[in-house]
Amino acid sequence: MRAEDVMSSPVVTVRPDTPVKAAIGLMTSHGFTALPVVDADDRLVGIVTEADLVRDRVIPDARTLVWREDRAPVVEPPPDAVGEVMTSPATAVRRSADIAEVATVMLDGHIRCTPVVDRGKLVGVVSRRDLLRTLARDDRAIVADVRHVLAKYGGHGRWAVSVADGVVTVVDEFDDAEDRHVASVLARSVPGVQAVTVTSRLDERV
C-alpha cells in the first residue's frame, strides 16, 4: 500500500494568517489533531497541532495562587496567527510512499497526522486513524479486492483467494513462479492485507 491508498482527501487546511481562534474552532468541530498550513498556491509550509494551539494559552487561575495582588503574574497576549505557532517545516511524505514507511515515520516521530504532498503541493493527510481504519477492514472486503486485482492480471478463475484476519492465502491454478511473485506483490497492495502466502495447486498435490 502507498500513502495515496489510505490518505484522507480533500484536506481541511489553514493559512499562516488564519487566526488561532479560527484554527481551534476547525480542529474541535472536525475532531482533528492537526491542520496542515498552506500558502496561496496550496504548498505546504507547516502544520499546526493541538499542542501548538494549547501552548501558552491556558493561564493560571488567580484563585489558586498565593501571590498578593501586587505580585500577580503578568500574562502577555498569546500569538494571534497560525503562522506564529505552527510547526515548520512539517514532516511530510510523498503520495507514493510505502505505507509501512509512513507508519514508521509517524510512530518514531510521535506524529499523529502526516501531510501527503505531490511536487510540494498538499494532496492529502494520513492520520493514525487512517492507519487503524485500514487495519480494521473486513476480511470480505479484502478478499473481494484481492480477487479483483488478481483477475485483472491473470483472468477470472486463475486464483483461489481466502483471507483470515487480514492474512491472505492465494492458490494458483498453474505452476508459474513469476506469476506467483506478481500475485504476491499485487495482493500486498490491497488495504488491510497483513501478510500474503501464494502457492500452486501442484504444491497441494505433493
pLDDT at 7: 92
Q: Clarify whether residues 44 and 25 are in a common domain.
A: yes
Does residue 183 form part of some domain? yes
141-163 pLDDT, tens per residue? 999 999 999 988 877 878 899 99
Q: Is the pLDDT of residue 168 over 60?
A: yes
166-184 as b/e, with b when 16 or more CB fall inside 10 Å?
bebbbbbeeeeeebbeebe
Task: Name residue 10's amino acid.
Answer: P
Model's pTM, two decimal places? 0.72
Look at the chain and count its residues: 206
Let me know if residue 108 belongs to a domain.
yes
Neighbour count for residue 39 (Cβ, 10 Å): 11
Assign 29 to helix, strand or coil: helix
Averaged confidence pLDDT in the chain: 87
Same domain, 126 and 174: no
Examine residue 205 and state whether it is found in any structural domain, yes or no.
no
Residue 204 has pLDDT above 80, yes or no: no
82-119 residue pLDDT tens: 999 999 899 999 999 999 899 999 999 899 999 999 98
Residue 106 lies in a domain: yes
Do 81 and 161 belong to one domain?
no
Residue 151's domain spans which residues? Answer: 139-199
Helix (H, G, I), strand (E, B) or coil at 124: strand
Q: Which H or E element spans position 112?
A: none
Domain boundary at 117, 135, 153, which? 135
pLDDT one-digit tens code per residue, 111-140:
999 999 998 899 999 999 999 988 889 999
The burial of 36, by beta-carbon neighbours within 10 Å (0-12 exposed, 13-18 middle, 19 or more buried), is given as buried
Task: Kindly state whether residues 88 and 187 are assigned to the same domain.
Answer: no
Q: How confident is the model at residue 69 (pLDDT cuts 50, 70, 90)?
A: low
Residue 204 covered by a domain:
no
- Give me the DSSP letters along 45-97: EEEEEHHHHHTTTSPPPGGG----GGGPPPPPPPP-BGGGTSBSS---EETTS
User: Do the domain assignments include residue 164?
Assistant: yes
